[in-house]
C-alpha cells in the first residue's frame, strides 16, 4: 500500500531556495544617502556645529574694538533748542575672561565637529543594521512561502491518495496540520517584514518595496583589515568619534576653569570719545583708561572655580567610561566574529546533512519503512536549518558592522563594500 508514494514525495519535497527578487530594489547605498538627508539626529548635530561656530565668532568679537555713536536734541518751553552728538571708540586692552572664553568656545566648536562625525558613525550603523534586518526578514518570508507551497502540494497529494485508498486518514490530517502551520509561519513572517520596513523608514523616510539580500550560497569568509585584536583596540582609542568627543569635552572644561579663574584678575580697557554740540564752542576729544580689580568678597568667583574643577573631573570620568566600554566592545566583537562565522559554516553543514536525511526518509517511505510524518518532519527541519543559516549569516555581518562602528570606521567606502555582499 505504501509502494509508489516515494516518487510524489521526492517531487514535492524539493530543496528550497530564495525566490528571485524583482529587478529593482532599494540598495543599501540608496538607503544611506536618504538617511543622511533625513535623519533628525544627524541634522541636529550639524546645526549644533553651526551654533558652536557662531559662538566662536561672538567670542572673537568681544576682543575687537567697538565703535558707538549717539545724538541728543532738546527743546525747552521758552523755545530754547540745543543738540549734541558723540562718537566713542572702546578697546579691551586686557581681560583674561574674554581670552579664556574664546579658548573654551573654540574647544567646544571642535567637540561639536567631532560630534557630527560621531552622529555620522552612529547613523551608519543604524541604517546598515536596519537594512540587514529587513533583508533577513524578507529572506525569511521567501522561505516561509516556499514552505507553504510545498506543504500545500503534500496536502493535496495525500488527499488524492487517501481517496484512492492508499493511505490512512491520520496521514492526511498530519499533512493538513503541517500546511496550516506553514500558513501561520507566512503570516508571522509578513508581520515581521512590515516591522522591519518601518524601522528602515524611520531612518530614511522612504518605504522600500524590496531590498537586496546577502547571498547564502558559495560563502567565503570575508577578510578583516586586521587580524590582531590589540590593533583594533588601539584603533578605537585613536579613531573612535565617541572617545574623541569625550576627550575634547575635557579640554573645553579646562578652558572653562580658566575662564572662572579670570574672575580673580584685573581688567584694563581704554576709551576715546569725541563730542560736539550747539552749545559748545570747541570740539571735545577725551580719552581714558579703566582698570578694574575684582575682590571676591562674597566667594562667587571661588564657587565658579570649584564648579569648573568638578566639571573637569566629571569629563575625565566620562573619558574613562568610554575607554572601558570601547575596549570591552572591541574585544567582544572581535572574538565573536570568528565564532559567528564558525556557526555559519556549521549551519551550511547542517543543511547538507539534513538534505541527506530527507532523501533517506523518502527512500524509507518508498520502502514502507516510515510514515509521511517522518518525511514531513525531515522536510521541516531542512527549512529550519536554512533559516538558521541566514540568521547566523546576518548576525555575522551585523557584528562586523558593530566592530567598525566602535572604531569609527563606518563611512561611504565601507557601505559601498558591503553592498558588494548583497544581491537583488
Kindly report, residue by residue over 336-356, the tens digit of the pLDDT: 999 999 999 999 999 999 999
**pTM for this entry:** 0.84
The pLDDT tens digits for 94-103 are 899 999 999 9
Weakest-pLDDT range from 21-25, 176-180, 330-334: 21-25
The pLDDT tens digits for 73-118 are 777 766 677 777 888 888 888 899 999 999 999 999 999 999 999 9
- Helix axes of 412-419 and 372-406: crossing angle, nearest 10 degrees: 160
- 302 has pLDDT over 60: yes
Maximum mean pLDDT: which of 65-69, 123-127, 354-358:
123-127
The pLDDT tens digits for 175-234 are 899 999 999 999 999 999 999 999 999 999 998 889 999 988 778 888 888 999 999 999
Name the CATH superfamily for 5-423.
Answer: Outer membrane efflux proteins (OEP) (1.20.1600.10)
Report the pLDDT value the prediction gives residue 305, as an integer from 0 to 100: 96
Please report which confidence band the pLDDT of residue 281 belongs to, taking 50, 70 and 90 as the band edges. low
- 2 has pLDDT over 50: no
Q: Supply angle C-alpha 89, 95, 96, rounded to 5.
A: 160
Q: Per-residue pLDDT averaged across 151-164, rounded? A: 83
CA torsion, ordered 235, 238, 242, 244, to nearest 10 deg = 180
Could you tell me if 92 and 63 are in contact, meaning their C-beta atoms sit under 8 angstroms apart?
yes
Report the pLDDT value the prediction gives residue 348, as an integer from 0 to 100: 93
15: phi then psi, degrees, rounded to nearest 5: -65, 140
Please report which confidence band the pLDDT of residue 19 belongs to, taking 50, 70 and 90 as the band edges. very low
Please report which confidence band the pLDDT of residue 282 belongs to, taking 50, 70 and 90 as the band edges. low
Measured CA distances, 209 to 6, 23, 104, 213, 227 (Å): 40, 11, 49, 13, 38
218 conformational bin, left if phi > 0, alpha if psi -120 to 50, beta if neither: left
Per-domain boundaries in the chain: 5-423
4 conformational bin, left if phi > 0, alpha if psi -120 to 50, beta if neither: left
Distant-in-sequence, close-in-space partners of 74: CB < 8 Å, separation ≥ 6 = 81, 82, 83
Find where cell 568619534 sits: 241
Amino acid at each position: 500500500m505504501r509502494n509508489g508514494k516515494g516518487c510524489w514525495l521526492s517531487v514535492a519535497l524539493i530543496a528550497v531556495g530564495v525566490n528571485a527578487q524583482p529587478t529593482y530594489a532599494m540598495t543599501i547605498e540608496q538607503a544611506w544617502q536618504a538617511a543622511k538627508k533625513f535623519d533628525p539626529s544627524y541634522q541636529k548635530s550639524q546645526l549644533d556645529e553651526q551654533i558652536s561656530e557662531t559662538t566662536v565668532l561672538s567670542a572673537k568679537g568681544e576682543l575687537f574694538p567697538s565703535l558707538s555713536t549717539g545724538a541728543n536734541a532738546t527743546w525747552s518751553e521758552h523755545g530754547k533748542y540745543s543738540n549734541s552728538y558723540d562718537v566713542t571708540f572702546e578697546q579691551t586692552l586686557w581681560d583674561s575672561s574674554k581670552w579664556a572664553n574664546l579658548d573654551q568656545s573654540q574647544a567646544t566648536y571642535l567637540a561639536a565637529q567631532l560630534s557630527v562625525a560621531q552622529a555620522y558613525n552612529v547613523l551608519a550603523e543604524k541604517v546598515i543594521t536596519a537594512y540587514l534586518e529587513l533583508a533577513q526578514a524578507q529572506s525569511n518570508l521567501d522561505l516561509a512561502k516556499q514552505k507553504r507551497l510545498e506543504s500545500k502540494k503534500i496536502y493535496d497529494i495525500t488527499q488524492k491518495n487517501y481517496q484512492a485508498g492508499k493511505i490512512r486518514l491520520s496521514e492526511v490530517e498530519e499533512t493538513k496540520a503541517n500546511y496550516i502551520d506553514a500558513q501561520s509561519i507566512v503570516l508571522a513572517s509578513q508581520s515581521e517584514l512590515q516591522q522591519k520596513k518601518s524601522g528602515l523608514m524611520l531612518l530614511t523616510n522612504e518605504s522600500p518595496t524590496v531590498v537586496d539580500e546577502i547571498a547564502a550560497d558559495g560563502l567565503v569568509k570575508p577578510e578583516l583589515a586586521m587580524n590582531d585584536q590589540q590593533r583594533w583596540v588601539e584603533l578605537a582609542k585613536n579613531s573612535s568619534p565617541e572617545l574623541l568627543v569625550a576627550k575634547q569635552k575635557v579640554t573645553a572644561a579646562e578652558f572653562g576653569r580658566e575662564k572662572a579663574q579670570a574672575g580673580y584678575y584685573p581688567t584694563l580697557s581704554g576709551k576715546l570719545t569725541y563730542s560736539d554740540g550747539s552749545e559748545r564752542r570747541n570740539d571735545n576729544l577725551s580719552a581714558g583708561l579703566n582698570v578694574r580689580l575684582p575682590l571676591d568678597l562674597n566667594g562667587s568667583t571661588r564657587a565658579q572655580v570649584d564648579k569648573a574643577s568638578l566639571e573637569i573631573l566629571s569629563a575625565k570620568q566620562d573619558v574613562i567610561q568610554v575607554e572601558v566600554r570601547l575596549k570591552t566592545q572591541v574585544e567582544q566583537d572581535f572574538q565573536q566574529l570568528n565564532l559567528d562565522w564558525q556557526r555559519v559554516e556549521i549551519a551550511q553543514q547542517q543543511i547538507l546533512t539534513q538534505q541527506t536525511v530527507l532523501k533517506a526518509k523518502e527512500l524509507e517511505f518508498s520502502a514502507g519503512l516510515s510514515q509521511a510524518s517522518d518525511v514531513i518532519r525531515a522536510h521541516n527541519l531542512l527549512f529550519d536549518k536554512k533559516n538558521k543559516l541566514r540568521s547566523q549569516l546576518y548576525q555575522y555581518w551585523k557584528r562586523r558592522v558593530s566592530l567598525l562602528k566602535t572604531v569609527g570606521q563606518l563611512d561611504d567606502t565601507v557601505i559601498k563594500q558591503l553592498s558588494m555582499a548583497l544581491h537583488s
